[in-house]
Amino acid sequence: MEIVYISLKTVSPVILTAPGSSQIMTTCNDSFSGTVLRGVLANVYIQQNNLGIHADENENFCRFFFDKLRFIQANVVVHGHRSSYLPLSLMKAKDSQNMPEILDLFKDNSKAGYKSLKGMAWVDSLTGTLYPAEVCRSVSFHMSRSSCSERIGGHSKDGKVFTYESIDKGQVFQGALVGDKEDLEDFLKQLPLQNNILRCRLGRSRYTQYGQCELTFSDPEPIPTVSVSKDVDLVLDTPLIPLSGNVSLAEDVLQCVADSMNTLTGTSDFFIGKVFGASQNVENFVGIWGMHRQQVQALTAGTAFELLKKTEWTKTDQNALQNVLYKGMGIRCEEGFGQIRIWQSDVKRVGRTELGEKEKSFVPIQSAESRKIVLYILKKYQSEQLKQQAYNDAKQMKVESVSSVTHMFARLESWLGDRRNISKSRERFHQRFQEELRHGSPFESHLRRLFIQGRSLYDIFEQDSDMPYEKTNCLSQIPEKLIAAADFYPLDSELFYEYWSWLFRHGRKQSIRLNRERKEEE
């Protein structure tokens, strides 16, 4: 067997309708399934050879699309490599400061403080770093304007509206074709390729503003060799639809892998070990039928299991495993279902996936109502950032468990004054500080013993400069164009009031808690 890699680039946004979509909201899948690739290439093949509605009577058509070839799902490319579904045996630490960041239940015991690690990623086997796959998507609003009068008027008389979620243009996915070399070469010769590139349209609304793609085909090459010397961990690269049986019993479904290995090697040495599985429903719409295909249950991609052998592995065993992995198991293998891959990675950490610097278009804020909403969101975001910083700073202060400290924080908060007169809060606070603080008092002593970012509260209030919140820009994650468009320039008095009011509250709560704990110990 050999393999042809297919690089799919989205030239325009693409809609791949996901299960559960409604007439109002169409959600989008993150991958191009083997069913989609097979359907697109079948349509191109039919048009290229003028087969029309009698394509099923053509011997080569049936050979390519129903027997000899496997159309494997195209997943998004991460750091130049095709991503795949993570094994369900992986778990991620909720707090990785004092424990390994990732556990693999194939070799590690389950522990408290971990949660399931799911999704798609590419794993660098040299460094043990896992890079999550990110698919950029957008949501677009549309109006139904079917009649001529609606199109001219620019609106829907019946009020029919709908929303499309789509994969953004400019992204690259990688799939594959698997089959014998002769079949692959014959198939590629009958496609209208230009420099190994095929331009096509796929997905929903593909003849309007969506669906334009470029498929780039590699030359046929041998499939990756399998080198196994002991028990092997396997993972489903695509869902496996069983011939029969209940998919909730994953061990029974996966027994077909061991049975195939025993048949191909003429032994009875292979059996299934640990299994980490889940099920899913598989359904799709067949355009030429104009209806949905019957929904079936399958083991989900990412289902992981052990393939064990009673004796040592031989070259015959390795060849048999290679055949099982790439030909697929279960039914509908020609659509890419039942693909299996070896899991050999020792994952140690989660890396950061760089999506690249993409120039994002900025839509100016034109209406007063929109600007009002944006201003509210920015103020709320700024308030939450200051609140979080105040909490972190208060947590690092060594607050004493005495009632005078609790009173001190309450008194400081009262100096801020009423929020309704927030514009003069800083001046008001500094004036009260100068007038009411007595030299040598316990109040001053507490202020000198509490530190924030290396400075005592006394020095901060006495100098009235270099406030703690000034070192961190709480709006650093917001695009500058959006801040300028909304004309959002917060006053220093607003930042002063927001930060210190929350710090005084957190400090008072911390002091009260310490007092309670001290009394319980006594």
pLDDT tens-digit readout, 295-312: 888 999 999 999 999 999
Mean pLDDT along residues 449-470: 84
Question: Within a domain: residue 204?
Answer: yes
Bridge partners, residue 232, by sequence: 307
Same domain assignment for residues 314 and 254? yes
pLDDT of residue 218: 95
Q: Residue 169: pLDDT above 80?
A: yes
Task: Write the pLDDT tens digit of every residue in 341-394.
Answer: 999 777 878 877 655 444 445 566 778 888 888 888 888 888 888 888 888 888
Q: What is the mean pLDDT of the chain?
A: 85
Same domain assignment for residues 12 and 74? yes
Task: Write the pLDDT tens digit of every residue in 502-511.
Answer: 888 888 888 8
- DSSP H helices in 76-147: none
Question: Within a domain: residue 359?
Answer: no
Helix or strand or coil: residue 511?
helix
Q: Which of 195, 221, 247 is the last residue of a domain?
A: 221
Q: What is the pLDDT confidence band of residue 440, given thresholds at 50, 70 and 90?
A: confident
Which has the minimum average pLDDT: 353-357, 369-373, 431-435, 474-478? 353-357
- Beta-carbon contacts of 516 under 8 Å, excluding residues fewer than 6 positions away, are none
Same domain assignment for residues 45 and 138? yes
Q: Which of 33, 14, 1, 26 minimizes the C-alpha distance to 286?
A: 33
> Across 86-90, 351-355, 424-428, which has the greatest mean pLDDT?
86-90
pLDDT of residue 375: 86
Same domain assignment for residues 163 and 141? yes
Question: Within a domain: residue 112?
Answer: no
Q: Which domain holds residue 303?
A: 232-350
Distance from chain centroid for Cα 439: 58
Task: Write the pLDDT tens digit of every residue in 393-406.
Answer: 888 776 655 567 78
Same domain assignment for residues 215 and 236? no
Which CATH number does the domain housing residue 153 bear?
3.30.70
Same domain assignment for residues 305 and 211? no
**Looking at the 3D structure of the chain, how many domains does it have?**
3
Question: In terms of residues, how long is the chain?
Answer: 522
Percent of the chain predicted with pLDDT > 90: 39
pLDDT of residue 441: 86
Q: Which of 221, 251, 266 is the last residue of a domain?
A: 221
Q: Which of 194, 221, 248 is the last residue of a domain?
A: 221
Are 43 and 240 spatial neighbours (Cβ–Cβ below 8 Å)?
Answer: no
Question: Within a domain: residue 97?
Answer: no
Same domain assignment for residues 161 and 24? yes
Question: Within a domain: residue 334?
Answer: yes
Question: Within a domain: residue 93?
Answer: no
pLDDT of residue 156: 58
Same domain assignment for residues 185 and 253? no
Same domain assignment for residues 339 and 400? no
Q: Which long-range contacts (CB under 8 A, 24 or more apart) does 512-521 make?
A: 512/406, 514/399, 514/400, 514/401, 515/401, 515/402, 515/403, 515/406, 517/401, 518/401
Bridge partners, residue 309, by sequence: 270
Same domain assignment for residues 266 and 411? no
> Across 156-165, 184-193, 275-284, which has the greatest mean pLDDT?
184-193
Question: Within a domain: residue 471?
Answer: yes
Same domain assignment for residues 159 and 18? yes
- Beta-carbon contacts of 435 under 8 Å, excluding residues fewer than 6 positions away, are none
Strand 304-309 to strand 270-276: parallel, antiparallel, or no bridges (unpaired)?
Answer: antiparallel
Which CATH number does the domain housing residue 331 bear?
2.60.40.4350
Q: What is the pLDDT confidence band of residue 94, given thresholds at 50, 70 and 90?
A: confident
Question: Within a domain: residue 418?
Answer: yes
The token pair at 397 is 């202060």
Task: Write the pLDDT tens digit of every residue in 140-159.
Answer: 877 766 666 655 555 556 65
CA distances from 12 to 171, 203, 209, 413 (A): 10, 11, 7, 56
Same domain assignment for residues 145 and 214? yes
